[in-house]
Amino acid sequence: MKTAIFPGTFDPFTIGHFDVVQRALQIFDKVIIATIGDNQKKKTLFSSEARAAMIKQAMQPYAGKVEVVIYDTMTVDFCRAHHSNFIIRGIRTVGDYNFESIMAQANQKLSPVIDTVFFPSRPEHAYICSSVVRDILLYQGDVSAFIPKGMEIAAISCAKK
């Protein structure tokens, strides 16, 4: 069974992230969505538990093929622990590619058996990023066009105050 790891903060999980998982499932038997825990330097709007709950809710149609886990280790160590040699990443822009390419090379240096598979964003999702969704949420805007169906209520009700 080929398992891929999709690591990220996912604050919150967007339709772009959802699309990457759907596409990855055409290649991999299982995708583990690994959301970064709360002890990171990155300030998040949602707790790691809220993020994981929203992702699980969004991924219900893929139960058995998608697992959601909170992690706080290096991604390559997480891959080893879950017997995966693949990291998947979505790429929206050239800037994303530059950053993700550097991370992929560093991860491969740390563990030569781990490869990163890039999924370019579909044009209709290229402008969607978690930081834009957070800003809309902070001003009580409608985010339904930016996040997977079924997350609207969870996203609004789980936000940290």
Q: Rounded CA gap, 159 and 156, in Å?
A: 6
pLDDT band at 3 (very low <50, low <70, confident <90, very high): very high
DSSP 8-state assignment for residue 136: H
* Overall average pLDDT of the 111-138 stretch: 93
pLDDT band at 24 (very low <50, low <70, confident <90, very high): very high
Q: Rounded CA gap, 149 and 127, in Å?
A: 18
pLDDT for residue 11 is more than 50: yes
* CA quadruple 127, 132, 23, 115: dihedral sign: positive
Measured in whole angstroms, the distance separating CA 30 from the mean position of its chain's CA atoms is 14
pLDDT for residue 152 is more than 70: no
Helix (H, G, I), strand (E, B) or coil at 1: coil
* Overall average pLDDT of the 38-57 stretch: 86
CATH number 3.40.50.620 is the correct assignment for the domain at 3-157:
yes
Percent share of the chain, pLDDT over 70: 93
Q: Where are the alpha helices (DSSP H) in the chain?
A: 15-24, 48-58, 75-81, 94-110, 130-138, 152-157
Helix (H, G, I), strand (E, B) or coil at 27: coil
- Mind listing the pLDDT tens digit for each residue in 57-107? 999 999 999 999 999 999 999 999 999 999 999 999 999 999 999 999 999
pLDDT band at 155 (very low <50, low <70, confident <90, very high): very low
- Known catalytic residues are 17, 42, 92, 130
Break the chain into its structural domains and give their ranges: 3-157
